[in-house]
Chains A and B, each alone.
Chain A
Amino acid sequence: MQSDDKPLPRMRPPTAGFANRRYGGGFAPAGQVLLRYAALIAVALVFIGPFAWLLSTAMKSGSENIFQYPPQFLPQQPTFQNFGRVFQALPFLSYFVNSAFVAAMAVSCNLVFCSLAAYPLARMSFAGKNPIFLVLISTMMLPFQLLMIPLYSIAVALGLNNSFLGLMIPHACTAFGIFLMRQAFLTIPHQLEESARVEGVSRLRIWWHVMLPLSKPALATLAVFTFVGVWGDFLWPLVIMDDQAKFTLPLGVNKLSGAFGKDWRLVAAGAILSIIPTIAVFLFAQRFFISGALKGAVKG
């Protein structure tokens, strides 16, 4: 039997526990924290590794054997000459401009068309809405290789082969983009739209002035995904483009490997140069990936 005057166990104040959980400090054993960070660093290395190796290869001089065993990560005589040689060997800037133009067009079209298509699917009632959405989603399962030949036939029939328009159109509106934007619109409180409807605002204006500004994180995500997809696309430009003056960067970088008998230093330098815009776009769009975009919209 427990004695009445036995002291009760001391309880830790709830705020202290909360603070510790939140900031990860305090009572967590140091070993556990080290282990956690070690795991995080290991995962980070797995992702950074190939890029670091690419950079290392691009900075190795011509006298250095890049296939030596054991592999040498750090260049013995680091050099930036390979980057300069890329510009001498190819009209790199021209390819860059072509890629930027196609990517900008594809991103713009995607943002507009996908969000336009997503709005009725998210917010309007009409016959066949769900089957239409299902069919759209189903197309995500079809690999591009399956669509490539029919797409090429259509492009040729329309006279779009060897043109930027033909290059861009297959990227202009994607099922993934529609799905992403539909899900984003679904999270916006109905009352915001209803309030605007009662005020006499048209659906198109609601889409532009209410739905889009509140979907910035989703738009930024879609922009990044589209940009990365179009910027790095190799297969479709290879199929549709013959005119070398209209080549995009992936085709141009591919030419590097052929022209110099596979000088991997140049290929690596070209690849490094071509991924810089992707990183820049991601860093720019990152600020929109903030949570709480709807803060203050509705209570509850």
Chain B
Amino acid sequence: MTSISLKGVTKIFGSKCAVRETDLEIESGEFIVFVGPSGCGKSTLLRMISGLEEATGGSILFDQIDMTATPASKRGVAMVFQAYALYPHMTAARNLSFGLRMTGHSKEEIARRVGRAVKILRLDDYLNRKPAQLSGGQCQRVAIGRALVQQPKVFLFDEPLSNLDAGLRGSMRVEIAALHRELGNTMVYVTHDQLEAMTLADRIVVLNDGRIEQIGTPHEIYHQPKNIFVAEFMGAPRINMLPGVAVEEGGLFLPLDPEQKIPLAAAPSAVKAGDRISVGIRPEDVSGSPDSALEMRVDFIEQTGAMTHYFGRVGRHEFRVASSEGLPCRPGERIHLGFAAERLHYFDGKGQRISPETQR
């Protein structure tokens, strides 16, 4: 098992800075997930860890040994690519053993390692098939098997499930989690799918525009987002974000329009009247409440099975509600909504979370 340290790692492509002075400590045996929108630098960061991409600045350490200038083949990493990257002219068995054969391992050793990977990933039935004869899920299992036989110190996954359909993605997610439990290796996983990030990660690293926005456990990332970007990126439907200026009217309120205002009863003490703030509330923290003054005009209803999503407007703000029980309304109608005051997230004028330690 190996720990990874990134110290001021930077990557510049021409005039574009893809990764900006990134510091990160990945503990030994940890499953860490890089998540962020397209072009945020998550894959570039992973490729720099793998050695496939050279860092423009900073250093990458494995177990406190500087690996920045070490080629990919000497780092003890194995990588699983989004597009499988299986050799199309070789059978699954030849794909699994290719790296070992090329690096001079004995036949017995190759057979032992391939046999173990085949057993763990249940590849027996299609060892003699070529990639074109395998389904997407089978291809990705072979690709993971190819990483497994290398017995790497670190597993790197670059959006490995993005090409699979929803059902397969779910089952492969479970398999990867089981693999981590069984092997205990350090795993770094890149995805833009927040569900994958939330379900697989010990810790999530949220990236945006080449910078780390937040590092934390899935619970921390979701329930204590450090800024508006993280709050909005994590969660589907997206968090409701209501910007405005706090007012004192026998208590602190956030006016949304002339008729509606949100009581900020549990606001942190740092929030004062006259402050420009944004208040966030997760769609699932909102429910129907006939006595509430908060009124939403419902534009669209989306059934997802377990949950029903309601999209509409509160005043001039877009608003979303997610309910497992359903709300008594139809598109075009208005409904009164309520929420617990302590479920609100507070952000200052710069979009940074206002610490909730000291409640009013």
**Which residues of chain A have a CB within 8 Å of any CB of chain B?**
189, 191-192, 194-202, 205, 209-210, 213-214, 293-300
Q: Does B203 sit at the interface, judged by CB under 8 A? A: no
B86 & A199 in contact (Cβ 8 Å cutoff): no
For residue B150, give the distance in angstroms from its CB to the closest CB of chain A: 6
The reply to whether A297 and B73 form a contact with Cβ atoms under 8 Å apart is: no
Q: Assess the A199–B85 pair: CB atoms within 8 A.
A: no
Contact yes or no, A296 B81, CB < 8 A: no
The answer to whether B85 and A191 have CB atoms under 8 Å apart is: yes
Q: Which of B2-10, B118-126, B130-138, B246-254 contacts A (4 or more CB under 8 A)?
A: B130-138
A194 close to B52 (CB less than 8 A): yes
> Which residues of chain B are near A294, meaning CB under 8 Å?
88
| Count of chain B residues with a beta carbon within 8 Å of a chain A beta carbon | 33
- Interface flags, B313-325, vs A, CB<8A=1, else 0: 0000000000000
Known: A191-B81, A195-B79. A200 touches B87 (CB 8 A): no
Chain B residues with CB below 8 A from A194, complex form = 52, 72, 79, 81, 85
Q: Which of B79, B103, B134 contacts A296 (CB 8 A)?
A: B134
Q: A198-B52, A198-B77 are in contact. Are A296 and B85 (CB under 8 A)?
A: no
Chain B residues in 8 Å Cβ range of A192: 85, 87
Q: B79 contacts which chain A residues (CB < 8 A)? A: 194-195, 198
- How far does the alpha carbon of A296 sit from the alpha carbon of B133 in the complex, in Å? 8
A189 to B133: give the CA distance in the assembly, Å.
19
Give which listed residue, B89, B98, B103, contacts A214 with CB less than 8 A.
B89
Kindly state whether residue B61 has any CB partner on chain A within 8 Å: no
Closest residue to A201 on the B side, CB-wise?
B102
With contacts A199-B73, A201-B103 taken as known, whether A189 is within 8 angstroms of B132 at the C-beta atoms is no
CA A297 – CA B87 in complex, angstroms?
A: 6
| Interface 0/1 of B79-99, CB less than 8 Å to A | 101111111110000000011
Asked if B50 is at the interface (CB within 8 A of a chain A CB), the reply is yes
B85 in contact with A297 (CB, 8 Å): yes
The answer to whether A199 and B139 touch across the interface, beta carbons within 8 angstroms, is no
Do the beta carbons of B83 and A300 come within 8 Å of each other? yes
| Alpha-carbon distance between A179 and B86 when the two chains are bound, in angstroms | 26
Of A189, A197, A205, A296, the residue contacting B139 (CB under 8 A) is: A296
**Cα distance A217–B87 when bound, in Å?**
16
Known contacts A189-B85, A198-B77, A300-B83: does B102 contact A205 (CB below 8 Å)?
yes
Closest-CB distance, A210 to chain B (whole angstroms): 6
Tell me the bound Cα distance from A298 to B136 in angstroms.
Answer: 10
In the docked arrangement, what's the CA distance between A201 and B84, Å? 18
A selection of 7 A-B contacts at a CB cut-off of 8 Å is A195-B81, A199-B103, A199-B146, A199-B150, A201-B102, A209-B102, A296-B132
A191 contacts B83, CB within 8 Å? yes
Pairwise interchain contact B84-A197, C-beta atoms closer than 8 A:
no
| Docked-complex contact B139 and A209, CB < 8 angstroms | no
Excluding A196-B98, A202-B102, 14 further A-B contacts by CB distance (< 8 Å) are A191-B83, A192-B85, A195-B79, A196-B99, A198-B72, A199-B99, A200-B102, A201-B99, A209-B98, A295-B88, A296-B86, A298-B85, A299-B163, A300-B82
Q: Report the bound CA distance from A17 to B71 in whole Å.
A: 54
CB distance from A215 to the nearest CB of B (A): 11
- Report B129 CB to chain A, min CB distance, Å: 10
B335 interface residue per 8 A CB criterion = no
Would you give the shortest CB distance from A208 to chain B, in whole angstroms?
Answer: 10
> Whole-angstrom distance between the alpha carbons of A99 and B203 in the complex?
69
> Closest residue of chain A to B163, judged by CB?
A299
Point out the residues of chain B lying under 8 angstroms from A213, CB to CB: 87, 89
Which residue of A has the minimal Cβ distance to B71?
A197
Contacts of A214 in B (CB 8 A): 87-89
B78 interface residue per 8 A CB criterion = yes
Instruction: Please pick, from B81, B98, B130, the residue contacting A199 in the complex, using a CB distance under 8 A.
Output: B98
Question: B1-29: which residues lie under 8 A (CB-CB) from chain A?
Answer: none
Residues from chain B with a CB closer than 8 A to the CB of A191 are 81, 83-85
Residues of B within 8 Å of A293, CB to CB, are 88
Select the residue from A194, A198, A209, A295 with max chain B CB neighbours within 10 A.
A198
Q: Which residues of B contact A199 (CB under 8 A)?
A: 73, 78, 98-99, 102-103, 146, 150
- Which residue on chain A has the smallest CB distance to residue B94? A209
Please measure, in the bound complex, the distance between the C-alpha atom of A202 and the C-alpha atom of B71, giving whole angstroms.
Answer: 11
Given the contacts A194-B52, A214-B89, A298 and B99 also touching, CB distance less than 8 Å: no
B73 A198 Cβ-Cβ under 8 A: yes
CA distance A213 to B90 in the complex (A): 10
> Which listed residue (B99, B133, B139, B150) contacts A299, Cβ 8 A?
B139
Closest to A205 in B: B102
> Chain B residues with Cβ under 8 A from A200's Cβ?
73-74, 99, 102-103
Q: Please, what's the 1-or-0 string for B103-119, where 1 marks a CB less than 8 Å from any CB in chain A?
A: 10000000000000000
- In the bound complex, residues from chain B placing their C-beta under 8 Å from that of A202 are 102
**Is there an interface contact between B72 and A197, defined as CB atoms closer than 8 Å?**
yes
Measured between alpha carbons, how far is A192 from B83 in the docked complex, in Å? 9
Cα(A298)–Cα(B79), bound, Å: 15
| Nearest neighbor of B95 in chain A, beta-carbon distance | A195
Q: Mark B53-89, 1 if CB is under 8 A from A, else 0.
A: 0000000000000000001111001110111111111
- Shortest A292–chain B CB gap in Å is 8
- Contact residues in A for B50 (Cβ distance below 8 Å): 198
Contact A195-B146, Cβ < 8 Å, known A298-B83, A299-B139, A299-B163: yes
| Bound Cα distance from A200 to B163, whole angstroms | 26
Say whether A296 contacts B83, CB under 8 Å: no
Contacts of B136 in A (CB 8 A): 299
How many angstroms between the C-alpha atoms of A202 and B136 in the bound complex? Answer: 28
Docked Cα-Cα span, A189 to B163, in Å, equals 16
Contact A195 B102 (CB under 8 A): no
CB distance from A121 to the nearest CB of B (A): 20
Name which residue of chain B comes closest to A206, CB basis.
B102
Instruction: State in angstroms the CA–CA spacing of A196 and B100 once bound together.
Output: 10
